[in-house]
Amino acid sequence: MSKIVILDGHPSQKSLSDTLALAAAKGAQNAGHEVKKFRISEMKFEPDLLNGHHVAQTLEADIVAFQEALVWADSLLLVHPLWWGGPPAKLKALFDRALLPDFAFRFLPGKAIPEKLLAGKSAHLILTSDSPAWYLKRLANGWVKTLNQQILGYCGFSKTKVTYIGPVRTMDEKARKKASQTASSLFK
């Protein structure tokens, strides 16, 4: 069975993202997978990469735990809303702080493309929005492309599979239950 890291990227614990992340974790565990779950809302770290990559910055315990989980994992599931065409700021900050040179990738002398140190791992994204899912697929292409080419793909993850859920603001209980069922069946 697989080892899966699930990251709830919503800055509030009371969110649809949290509900979906919990459903995905339960479904994966029921299918026999090992799961480590993180909530961006509970993680404590300096959000800014203060000196770029020029000076090493002390890694907080939550950053180290997330890095260790990524090394351990076969697969990463991100669950978050799309705000202004991208992820919540603290989620982007986690990528800035955790996916560092010599951890997630390594620059090689004379090579334009770095060595991908997290190669062989898969990624899945549950992306929520107040836009309808069909519109979200078009709207989110920029963010999904960034994940695939400049963040996760740059570090070696395979192309991110995406599940679009929306519109969130008009979801009734039946639609929320269906979304939870979708999340719980991702790793069966």
pLDDT for res 134 = 87
Terminal alpha carbon distance of the chain: 10
pTM greater than 0.75 (yes/no): yes
Q: For position 63, which CATH number holds?
A: 3.40.50.360
Q: How many domains does the chain have?
A: 1
Sign, CA dihedral 94-28-167-163, equals positive
Neighbour-count burial of 20, counting CB atoms closer than 10 A to its CB (0-12 exposed, 13-18 middle, 19+ buried): buried
Domain that holds residue 72: 3-184
So what's the pLDDT on residue 28?
Answer: 98
The pLDDT averaged over each successive group of 10 residues in the chain (188 residues) is 97 95 98 98 96 90 98 98 94 97 96 96 96 82 92 96 94 96 96
Contact 125, 163 (CB under 8 A): yes
pLDDT at 140: 66
